[in-house]
A and B are shown apart, each in its own frame.
Chain A
Amino acid sequence: MEDVVCNGCSLLCDDVVVEVTDGEVHSLGLCRLGHQHLLSSIESNSPQASTRESGKATEVSIDEALERAAELLLSSERPILYGWSGSTNETITLGLELAKTLGGIIATPANLGMTQALSHTLHSMDLGIDLEYVRNNGELIIYWGSDPTESSHRHPSKFAVLPRGENIPEGIESRTIGVVDVRNTETMKMANHRLIIPPGMDSAILEALVSEISGTSSIASDVAGIGPQELIGLARNIRKADCTVIFYGSGIINSGNADANLSGLQAFIEAVRGIGKQAFALPMAPESNIMGAIKSLSTDASTSSITDIVAGDFDAALVVGDDALVELPGSAAKALAQLPLVYIGPPGITSGKARVSICITDDVITGIGTMNRLDLVEIEFKQWNSQKEERLAEHDVMARLLELIRKEKS
């Protein structure tokens, strides 16, 4: 069996092994999400390209598809280059070059809220810990508006809840777990504190906890339907814990009160640090390299919000690495589908709608490049030899497209 790096989600598990014998895939350690991702990547391993006119698809060579893609993008005055959350950092760098060359605008699924969250002043509070630090020190863990049982299956067992660490000798027995969500999630089964709150009431709960932790006032009545005993008990455990870590997800970012919620988290961290304890807040997002995309694109790219797509600000689109028509909100997906569309990535709904579609070999199989894990730690893919058929990496296709466009431009 060979070591691989799984890009099925943002945990980028690098402790798993795979063997492929006579088309039979055998994995150890991969979760259901990762194993299914590997299976579909192997099934769609053969690179293929097609062009589509008036709804009719024609299979073409990769070279022909690249020429047609270059022609389409060069004829655009304002293209959007969307995706990147499933691409390697090296491919994203090429995407940035291409955006500059074309005068295009770059956007990622992170524009749906994660980028804004990471620009909040909350993230200027020295939150730079990695998941290994959480494993070794995280004594009180709260999943707030995030549900790893649905999207990052190994997050609790590998890092945050169950494993033993340097200062967590008994694993789960040495930790206290809280889950705050708008419904009864499966993650709640592991929790000591389960808070089911109405949507949009996160900041009210945070405010109550801050007042209780800092000792400014005591909770005397229900807050957002949660009884004072439960909240006081949670606050007491937070005060006792040496290191509290909140993993916040779309419940915080996409509930309509992102700014108030993030400010609430900031006040919470200030309050816990104010009593001499450690506190951190880390984002949760399922896309494999969403953090790499945010990191790369925060430097010098012209980025766009999703509303610009709906407003019809673009006259062509290049989608790379993300099945955009599945992931985007309906109105944005509809607007994107109406544009002349070039797609580079694994097969999916978007590849079936694009005017030019180049389906590539997934990075889990090519084993080349790097991605950033959820905590920004850079993980390098591992090369493995079980898949020796023809490969076409997304990075290679992007490099050829960039070269072609630069040549045409000059």
Chain B
Amino acid sequence: MKLNPMELYNLLPKTNCRLCEAKTCMAFATKMALGDVLPEDCPPLLEKGFEKNLEKLRDLVAPMQSAEETGIKLDESKCTGCGNCVVVCPVDVAVEPPTGRGKAGRSRDTVFIVENGVSKIINLEKCRRFPPDRLNCRVCEQYCCTDAIEIW
């Protein structure tokens, strides 16, 4: 599921009121697309007249907020074991910093591990897409050259 910040922005009050942390409504929409903020974090949106917009925004961000166990699929038959996912995954690099410099991962506390020639997801619950982070992170999918990783 990809959230389009512009689509979210069009449903906001567009007042740039600065009542939230973001400096502009566009910045707020971008944060919402990444899962960093919720529609309720926009005070003017809770005011009378914006009920329909608030409902639409809640519907749009709901799939991301409800993601618990699914969202990433790794097709091992397509995987070449290149390790791109390990090197770009922020969680893996935080757990095992040498992987960020290209070293092969050995830790079993990471999201991905390249084992027996293919990448495997071993700790899906650590992915930043899921609670508590709920970020719309897709770097593994973005840099998987063989399209073995799919996020929906």
Contact = CB atoms under 8 A, between A and B. Distances in A.
Interface in A136-188: 149, 153-154, 156-159, 162-165, 171-172, 186-187
A135 B118 CA distance: 23
B121 interface: no
Contacts of B114: 28-31
Interface string A1-42: 100000000000101110000000111111111111000000
B117 interface: yes
Contact of A34 (B79, B86, B113, B117): B117
Nearest to A164: B100
A38 to B, nearest CB: 9
Nearest to B106: A28
Interface string B68-84: 00000000000111111
Given A153-B82, A157-B102, A162 B117 contact: no
Given A32-B80, A35-B81, A36-B117, A162 B143 contact: yes
Contact of A171 (B82, B86, B100, B115): B100
Contact of A190 (B86, B102, B103, B145): B145
Contact of B100 (A13, A149, A163): A163
Contact of B143 (A29, A36, A165, A189): A189
A28 B82 contact: no
Interface residues of A, number: 35
Which of A16, A29, A158, A171 gathers the greatest number of chain B CB atoms within 10 Å?
A29
B101 A164 contact: yes
B146 A149 contact: yes
A158 B86 CA distance: 10
Contacts of A172: 88, 143
B39 to A, nearest CB: 29
A163 B101 contact: yes
A77 B116 CA distance: 47
11 contacts: A28-B104, A32-B79, A32-B80, A32-B117, A33-B81, A154-B82, A162-B87, A162-B88, A162-B102, A163-B87, A186-B146
Interface of A: 1, 13, 15-17, 25-36, 135, 149, 153-154, 156-159, 162-165, 171-172, 186-187, 189-190
Given A31-B80, A33-B81, 7 more contacts: A32-B117, A135-B101, A153-B81, A154-B83, A158-B87, A189-B143, A189-B144
